[in-house]
Structure 1
Amino acid sequence: MEPLLKVENIKKTYGKSSAAYTALENISFDIHEGEFVGIMGPSGAGKSTLLNMLATIDSPTEGKIYMRDVSIHDMKGADLTDFRRDNLGFIFQDYNLLDSLTVKENILLPLAIAKMPAKEIDISVNRIAKVFGIEDLLAKYPYQISGGQKQRTAAARALVTEPALILADEPTGALDSKSATDLLESLSELNENNQSTIMLVTHDAYAASFCRRIIFIKDGTLSKEIHRRGQTRKAFFQEIIDVLATIGGEVDDVI
């Protein structure tokens, strides 16, 4: 089966000549539909640089990134805008909710932009709100809900369009342990029940233990890859900690 995402020999260099700095070099991997993949590594390893290129915010100096056999960095203007809208969902550490809109209005915003009929919008919003357990919050405004509820609202907004690939950048970084667990369990259920494809960038071993596969980056290159397979999440958590200890990554001691 062809991969959903193919990253081929990516290199990213900033600056020129003697001042040049290589953030990523010779990065190659595939992500197939229905995978839940984590990207981990020490601070400065290149995780954010890689995420920015997958999100089409930045372009590689060398190499190619394909989604469904389309080279995403060869697209320009309206084609690129349409590609992002139709294929990518973003969950960030900052919620980026609009305070003047209700929870429901924040979630439906991408559907309204895509000019989906009102009846279909209601069905989609109610369905995704149920997944994240925020059905009772739809009429509230962001200032009336907790940080964990805001992040679940932001996640619902990212997933309401049913994107091909969900990119999550430290989505639990600003949450308490219970709110983080609620969000991660919701993402895990989406992955298992809906075959949603998720790539989670994190430094947190606890968050990463919800993934099915972890790709480790160190000093801008691929360092190691591990798979959960039949392990319990607790056993996978310990394996992640062991790998991070060998490559110098940060760990979180909550489980």
Structure 2
Amino acid sequence: MMLLNAKGLQKVYGRKGQTYTAIRSLDLSIDKGEFVGVMGPSGSGKTTLLNIMSTIDQPSDGTVEINGRNMNTMNEKELAIFRREHLGFIFQDYNLLDTLTVEENIVLPLALAKVNANEIERRVHETADFLGLKELLNKYPYEVSGGQKQRTAVARATIFKPDIIFADEPTGALDSKSATTLLRMLTRLNEEEMATLLMVTHDAFSASYCHRILFIKDGEIFTQLDRGRFSRKEFFQKILDVLSVLGGEASDLI
């Protein structure tokens, strides 16, 4: 079942003679339950694409539909409500509020939506158990590690059980052990909760956890790679092969 459908996306910055086209007539679709990665060199348009898909930015042309609803026809108030109730966001720098506890950060979307207290309590403990955060609920973000902060951000992003989760370099600020833990948790969310994820990453190891990778170059889809029956190790090598064709080593693609 198709969850997200984008057609003819274009994003142009500037005006008149001084313009830069970040996205060029791009089409893509994501099915419910997919875990899709987006990769490409610096300046390729991958973050611009994520921002447009997640309604943070508007396309210059083209349409984005999520669960059959056209994002282009919504006003700012409608978009804000839709983001809160249907979309989840995970950022590299966590975007947690240091004045709130881990628990308060997690339940913030539910509190803003005025969900009743009993339901909030049920969901926060269910989510904290799933992500291994139960012992941290009363701590503040500055009292926990980077990996624990990012798991808190994942809990906040998923507690509303959104239609799709957008992740922008979610492992970028983590050490290798914390990154692996986070990726395994995202995989569990995908496999056990049927969460749909779209993740921008420069890291081939992170991308190897996805079902499908879209490689972006000069604002267009250069190619895509499906994991299929490949092991994660085999998929990782195939990702590296594509990145080398794109013109740089994996570590240079940011």
TM-score by length of 1: 0.96
Match of 2:150 in 1: 151
Match of 2:227 in 1: 228
Match of 1:161 in 2: 160
Tell me, in whole angstroms, the C-alpha distance in 2 between the residues paired with 1:249 and 1:139.
44
Residue 69 of structure 1, CA deviation = 2.0
Matched, 1:239 2:238: yes
Tell me, in whole angstroms, the C-alpha distance in 2 between the residues paired with 1:50 and 1:80.
17
Match of 1:127 in 2: 126
Q: Which consecutive residues of structure 1, in runs of 5 or more, have no partner in the other structure?
A: none
**Structure 1 moving runs of 4+ over 2 Å:** none
Residue 35 of structure 1, CA deviation = 0.3
Are the counterparts in 2 of residues 203 and 249 from structure 1 also a CA contact under 8 Å?
no
Match of 1:27 in 2: 26
Matched, 1:189 2:182: no
Give the aligned residue type for 1:203: H
Are the counterparts in 2 of residues 103 and 153 from structure 1 also a CA contact under 8 Å?
yes
Give the aligned residue type for 2:200: V
Tell me, in whole angstroms, the C-alpha distance in 1 between the residues paired with 2:235 and 2:56.
32
Tell me, in whole angstroms, the C-alpha distance in 2 between the residues paired with 1:25 and 1:130.
43
Q: Cα deviations across residues 117-168 of structure 1 (Å, max 9, x unaligned)?
A: 1111111111111221111111111111111101110111111110001000
Tell me, in whole angstroms, the C-alpha distance in 2 between the residues paired with 1:53 and 1:84.
12
Residue 17 of structure 1, CA deviation = 2.5
Matched, 1:87 2:86: yes
Tell me, in whole angstroms, the C-alpha distance in 2 between the residues paired with 1:165 and 1:122.
23
Residue 15 of structure 1, CA deviation = 1.2
> Between the two proteins, what is the percent identity of the paired residues?
54
Aligned residue for 1:158, secondary structure, equals: helix
Are the counterparts in 2 of residues 206 and 252 from structure 1 also a CA contact under 8 Å?
no
Tell me, in whole angstroms, the C-alpha distance in 2 between the residues paired with 1:60 and 1:77.
15
Q: Which consecutive residues of structure 2, in runs of 5 or more, have no partner in the other structure?
A: none
Are the counterparts in 2 of residues 205 and 240 from structure 1 also a CA contact under 8 Å?
yes
Tell me, in whole angstroms, the C-alpha distance in 1 between the residues paired with 2:226 and 2:118.
41
Match of 1:13 in 2: 12
Match of 1:75 in 2: 74
Tell me, in whole angstroms, the C-alpha distance in 2 between the residues paired with 1:46 and 1:35.
21
**Distance change >3 Å, CA 160–CA 250, structure 1 → 2:** farther
Q: Cα deviations across residues 8-36 of structure 1 (Å, max 9, x unaligned)?
A: 01111111232111111021010010000
Aligned residue for 2:250, secondary structure, equals: coil
Match of 2:57 in 1: 58
Tell me, in whole angstroms, the C-alpha distance in 1 between the residues paired with 2:229 and 2:159.
30
Match of 1:36 in 2: 35
Tell me, in whole angstroms, the C-alpha distance in 2 between the residues paired with 1:174 and 1:249.
22
Matched, 1:139 2:138: yes
Aligned residue for 1:223, secondary structure, equals: strand
Tell me, in whole angstroms, the C-alpha distance in 2 between the residues paired with 1:149 and 1:35.
25
Tell me, in whole angstroms, the C-alpha distance in 2 between the residues paired with 1:21 and 1:137.
45
Tell me, in whole angstroms, the C-alpha distance in 2 between the residues paired with 1:142 and 1:17.
46
Are the counterparts in 2 of residues 40 and 215 from structure 1 also a CA contact under 8 Å?
yes
Aligned residue for 1:98, secondary structure, equals: coil
Which deviates the most, 124-133 or 32-41?
Answer: 124-133
Residue 77 of structure 1, CA deviation = 2.7
Residue 82 of structure 1, CA deviation = 1.1
Give the aligned residue type for 1:136: E
Aligned residue for 1:27, secondary structure, equals: strand
